[in-house]
Structure 1
Amino acid sequence: MRTVRESALDVLRTRGMTTVFGNPGSTELPFLKHFPDDFRYVLGLQEAVVVGMADGYALASGTTALVNLHTGPGTGNAMGALLNARANRTPMVVTAGQQVRAMLTMEALLSNPQPALLPQPAVKWAYEPPRPADVPPALARAVQLAETPPHGPVFLSLPMDDFDATVTEEEDQAAQVTAARRIEHAAAPRPETVRSLADRIKRAGSAALVVGDDVDASGAWEAVLRLAERGGLPVWAAPASARVSFPRTHPLHRGELPPAIGPLTRALDGHDLVVVVGAQVFRYYPYVPGPYLPGGTELVLVTRDAEEAAKAPVGNAVVADLGVTAQALADHFPACDPAPVPDRPTKAPQTADGPLPPGTALAAVVAGAPANTLWVNESPSNVPQFHEAARISAPGSYLFSAGGGLGFGAAAAVGAQLGAPDRPVVAVLGDGSVHYAVQALWTAAAYRVPVTFVVLSNARYAILQWFAQLEHAQGAPGLDIPGLDIPTVAAGYGVRSFRAAGAGELTKLVRDATGGREGPVLIDVPVTTELPSL
């Protein structure tokens, strides 16, 4: 008879999940021993970094990531990153070791007394199999749940003595059959629903589209683009977007909606119909009160997420596949030639003494990066300047955390590069953000992952200074972070590091790093502070 470990590994092979992101502890060693040659183990030095790397890997590769954590303490360390993964709708199976079953009742050291409760509400499902033989089918079920829209992380607690237990031939075969199942999630709306919405768009005096992260994540980019062009619809990006879901060079693109109720409503003034595709209605913060929509404006949400439809404060909703629905809507409009995409503007690097303005620095970074760059952003106060400089116009080219917690950027960039090895990955990070996942630099160096980290350093949490203004909280402590020597920190982890003295040098450093691809490079860029505005 075979062991639970052998059966579980075959389940993972069947699902193509042979990369394990982890930080091992004693309760995980029984799973990891005799690690098979066809699996890859990616070590992170802290569990939040482990989950962040898996997050970026899944989003960049379009696959489901596998994470291995150390029982309760490791899961606790990872919770912030798991909340980000939940907000990012990342398909991820998180496993954590558990004490041997014989000592669970007495809650021996390293027992997780509430394994299904601890990771809530960051996961879609949390489970500890009741018997060792249930571990392989539980893994198979976990993958299916992670991949069911809305995608998200799931959690399994696995007692350490389960892996050497045996399974019968029937139990083993049943687990493999379960793992081999494929489920297609492509629910189509009723034809009359599509026809009614298309007629509403045609009758509207000024209809608009708002596109969200799930357009890019679900592969609906081309269908939504076709709908916008055929319908002549101006397109807004949903507030606080974590992905780019419509080409930012397109003549119909109107920018990103502000993430507050009152300002967002003012931005939509003049539109009598708003069709939201693949976005929450809406991702608000900070609180600036006002009506949810301009007077006389109607809203329709198209989403794959029934919960997202239920919690929207306004408008009707259609729960269906985004690409199928957008294509069906587009078919109700006459075909037209695709709009020409303007050439990406290039700006000559500017010379300046001292710290660079963020826009100047980001333009220099973009000038040095290849056209097919996959961008990871965690410089919250500089997001508008980034989009103005990069003007991303291809799907699958931008990752930002939808969860609002820092620590995603550096870790996700390492995972994204592992998940998309044929594309250059450039991470734009704040000097405050980078330290939430600074251990990711070690993984990048140890595995020679050729990420280019660009750190915009202004010695402060600038986004918090902006919030302090909005919330009338001036004088709050802890918003300045002087004395950071990020190149030295990076060098300590084994990453080649530089400090750019000007825009021209910055462009050259980025060009050399993304062209050489000989391992990770960190470029520290002193910048001035420009606070956002609503």
Structure 2
Amino acid sequence: MGFSQIAVNSFLGAAAEAREPLPQTGVKMSGTGADILAETLRAAGVDYIFGTSATGMSPFFDSLTINNDMQFISSIAESQATSMAHGYELVTGKTAVLFVPGVAIPSAMNNLYNAWKDRSSIAVLSDGSSSNFAGRNGFQQMDDWLDPMTQFTKWQWQVNNERQISEMLRRTIKLAETPPGGPVYLRFPGFLLSKPNIKQTIYPQSRFKIPMELYPKPELIEATARALLEAKKPLLCVGHEVTRARANQDVLELAELLGIRMAQGYSVFGDIPFRHPLFSGFYGLGVPRGLSNTDVFLNLGAPMPDPTIFTAPVPSKAKVIHARIEYDEIANTYPTDIAIAAGMKETVTAIKDSVQALATEGQIK
């Protein structure tokens, strides 16, 4: 991921100097486009910016010196900078900021693919060549710099209107961090960062944050609880959405409540302890023990088992229950008996409470 253990500990342990909180009504300011960009990042609580350097980014480097509370962590290659931003997001759970030269975006895309697959929240920023003579196949020109990024980003935009610098950067951060997360790309033409006397209101990013406590339907939770209580050989498949929701302990408590086997789904994280007595193996790049006997399969925040991740399918006799916050991944390939589109922590907590309410004394382990 581009980090040494020392660097990881530094990120987790360092306490950033307290910043004066912005009023909810925002603060009006005037400066270069780069000044507006830097102050918007500061208002979003950004501590680190990963990237490389180029002539077109010089105004931004100047803006960083106005206040010394954000650190630019430079790499010798854009692919490495992308991996560091990806690793930072995985370690901290915070949206990472990546700033690279516009012409180097194809290089950044190599590892941006990994961040996209891991649903890592990264605000990807770049400068861009002047658009005064676009369409001439000139130096650092191509017809469309945004289109190549559509495969690996949730949204892409080029800011041509100076009045929208802060607005579009706030949107980029909001979209990147809203679950399911992912990279978002924002491009600034070369003239915009250095343009002086731009007036803008800088708002705290918290004014644009979307609460994501998404509760499941009670009738689906009760049906899931009854299915688990009636099952002879249930299996939990646990994925990255559980870790991102900080619901790992809740999953363990649910499994231990009924003695349910747990399998690690295909994930960038270790979402369950591999030495736990109920751990039955990996369901992705492997096959969990006792799979063929499974009669209820509860997938919590993981991709469904598929030949593309080198594993066996869910037994056809098993009742399939699929819970994801990324709802468009539910019921794509398997006939699904119970489909739950909700947050993982809310879902697991609700299932656990329902099981406790419905179970007889002999069913609780």
TM-score normalised by the chain length of structure 1 = 0.57
The correspondence of residues 80-91 of structure 1 with structure 2, limited to 5 A, is 80-91=110-121
The code of the aligned residue for 2:132 comes to A
The code of the aligned residue for 1:270 comes to N
Contact 2:284 2:310 in 1 (8 A): no
> Which residue is 1:55 aligned to?
86
1:166–1:194: structure 2 CA closer, same or farther, 3 Å change rule? farther
The correspondence of residues 461-480 of structure 1 with structure 2, limited to 5 A, is none
The correspondence of residues 232-381 of structure 1 with structure 2, limited to 5 A, is 232-239=259-266, 241-259=267-285, 267-282=290-305, 284-285=307-308, 292-315=313-336, 316-334=338-356
1:157–1:187: structure 2 CA closer, same or farther, 3 Å change rule? same
The code of the aligned residue for 1:75 comes to I
How many corresponding residue pairs?
326
> Which residue is 2:171 aligned to?
141
User: In the TM superposition, what is the alpha-carbon distance from 1:126 to its structure 2 partner?
Assistant: 1.0
1:159–1:18: structure 2 CA closer, same or farther, 3 Å change rule? farther
The code of the aligned residue for 2:37 comes to A
1:30–1:113: structure 2 CA closer, same or farther, 3 Å change rule? farther
User: In the TM superposition, what is the alpha-carbon distance from 1:285 to its structure 2 partner?
Assistant: 3.3
Contact 2:322 2:331 in 1 (8 A): no
Runs of 5+ unmatched residues, structure 2: 1-29
Runs of 5+ unmatched residues, structure 1: 337-534
User: In the TM superposition, what is the alpha-carbon distance from 1:168 to its structure 2 partner?
Assistant: 5.9
TM-score normalised by the chain length of structure 2 = 0.83
Report sequence identity in percent.
Answer: 24
Whole-angstrom CA distance in 2 between matches of 1:160 and 1:287: 46
Q: Does 1:194 align with 2:224?
A: no
The correspondence of residues 476-487 of structure 1 with structure 2, limited to 5 A, is none
From 43, 53, 63, the counterpart of 1:14: 43
1:217–1:306: structure 2 CA closer, same or farther, 3 Å change rule? same
> Which residue is 1:46 aligned to?
77
User: In the TM superposition, what is the alpha-carbon distance from 1:163 to its structure 2 partner?
Assistant: 1.7
SS of residue in 1 equivalent to 2:280:
strand
Contact 1:231 1:330 in 2 (8 A): no
Q: Does 1:104 align with 2:128?
A: no
Whole-angstrom CA distance in 2 between matches of 1:167 and 1:267: 67
User: In the TM superposition, what is the alpha-carbon distance from 1:191 to its structure 2 partner?
Assistant: 1.3
Q: Spell out, residue by residue over 1:369-424, the C-alpha distance to the aligned partner (whole angstroms, 9 max, x if none).
A: xxxxxxxxxxxxxxxxxxxxxxxxxxxxxxxxxxxxxxxxxxxxxxxxxxxxxxxx
SS of residue in 1 equivalent to 2:298:
strand
Q: Spell out, residue by residue over 1:239-293, the C-alpha distance to the aligned partner (whole angstroms, 9 max, x if none).
A: 4x32111122211111112437xx67x85211111001010012543667x7x33
Whole-angstrom CA distance in 2 between matches of 1:186 and 1:123: 24
Q: Does 1:123 align with 2:169?
A: no
> Which residue is 2:24 aligned to?
none
> Which residue is 2:237 aligned to?
210
Q: Spell out, residue by residue over 1:20-71, the C-alpha distance to the aligned partner (whole angstroms, 9 max, x if none).
A: 1111122322322343222211111111110000101111111111001111
> Which residue is 1:454 aligned to?
none
Contact 2:124 2:184 in 1 (8 A): yes
> Which residue is 1:407 aligned to?
none
From 166, 169, 176, the counterpart of 2:203: 176
> Which residue is 2:6 aligned to?
none
> Which residue is 2:162 aligned to?
132
SS of residue in 1 equivalent to 2:235:
strand
Whole-angstrom CA distance in 2 between matches of 1:149 and 1:282: 22
Whole-angstrom CA distance in 1 between matches of 2:137 and 2:166: 25
> Which residue is 1:64 aligned to?
95
The code of the aligned residue for 1:320 comes to A
Contact 1:259 1:283 in 2 (8 A): no
User: In the TM superposition, what is the alpha-carbon distance from 1:98 to its structure 2 partner?
Assistant: 0.5
SS of residue in 2 equivalent to 1:118:
helix
1:95–1:324: structure 2 CA closer, same or farther, 3 Å change rule? same
User: In the TM superposition, what is the alpha-carbon distance from 1:9 to its structure 2 partner?
Assistant: 1.4
Contact 2:52 2:76 in 1 (8 A): yes
Whole-angstrom CA distance in 2 between matches of 1:224 and 1:286: 23
Whole-angstrom CA distance in 1 between matches of 2:165 and 2:133: 19
Contact 1:98 1:111 in 2 (8 A): no
From 99, 123, 144, the counterpart of 1:114: 144
With 53-62 and 304-313 compared, the bigger mean Cα shift is at 304-313
SS of residue in 1 equivalent to 2:322:
strand
User: In the TM superposition, what is the alpha-carbon distance from 1:14 to its structure 2 partner?
Assistant: 1.4
> Which residue is 1:363 aligned to?
none
The code of the aligned residue for 2:320 comes to L
SS of residue in 1 equivalent to 2:50:
strand
Structural RMSD (CA): 2.3
User: In the TM superposition, what is the alpha-carbon distance from 1:93 to its structure 2 partner?
Assistant: 0.4
The correspondence of residues 436-455 of structure 1 with structure 2, limited to 5 A, is none
Contact 2:226 2:355 in 1 (8 A): no
1:267–1:69: structure 2 CA closer, same or farther, 3 Å change rule? farther
The code of the aligned residue for 2:185 comes to F
Contact 1:71 1:111 in 2 (8 A): no
The correspondence of residues 372-451 of structure 1 with structure 2, limited to 5 A, is none
SS of residue in 2 equivalent to 1:332:
helix
1:220–1:286: structure 2 CA closer, same or farther, 3 Å change rule? closer
SS of residue in 1 equivalent to 2:356:
coil
User: In the TM superposition, what is the alpha-carbon distance from 1:179 to its structure 2 partner?
Assistant: 6.3
Whole-angstrom CA distance in 2 between matches of 1:275 and 1:286: 18
Following TM superposition, where does structure 1 have runs of at least 4 consecutive aligned residues deviating by more than 4 angstroms? 166-169
Contact 1:4 1:135 in 2 (8 A): yes
Whole-angstrom CA distance in 2 between matches of 1:56 and 1:31: 23
